[in-house]
Amino acid sequence: MIRGVGIDLAVIDRFRNAEPGLLDRILAPADRDYIAKFADPSPHIAGFWAAKEALVKALSRTDIAFNRVAILHEPNGRPYFDYHPDEGRLHLSISHEKEHAVAVVIWEA
């Protein structure tokens, strides 16, 4: 059954010229490898931020260090968390447009 749902909307501009400290707090090493492929990584960073905020909401947990939760991708591009809740599993979807990124997380257990 669905135990929790989380959604978050992020402004992409916030992550343009972001101070390095912010990215260090947000991104796991695998996230950095992923965004390095893009000329403008900001939409992807904003999407990762939104995904991790949505994760916190879905699980109702505030003790998750964002830089320890990587977002990986299946060969077809579908994202998933490299993070496993104590029980059940997570579903993640991310989208970005010109100015905003949005993510939804469902916790099923």
Nearer to ligand COA by Cβ, of 11 and 60: the residue is: 11
Binding to ligand COA, residues 28-67 (CB under 6 A): 44, 47
Q: How far is the CB of 78 from ligand COA (least distance, A)?
A: 3
Which is closer to ligand COA, CB of 60 or CB of 89? Answer: 89
Residue 99 phi/psi, 5-degree rounding, is -110, -20
CB of 15 to ligand COA, least distance (A): 12
Q: How far apart are CA 23 and CA 15, in angstroms?
A: 8
- Distance (Å, whole) CA 28 – CA 88: 23
Reported residue count of the chain is 109
Residue 87's DSSP bridge partners are: none
Q: By C-beta, is 6 or 47 nearer to ligand COA? A: 47
- The residue behind tokens 């994760």 is 55
Q: Of the ranges 3-11, 19-27, 59-67, 71-79, which one interacts with ligand COA (CB under 6 A)?
A: 71-79
DSSP reduced 3-state for 99: coil
Site for ligand COA in 75-94 (CB under 6 A): 76-79, 94
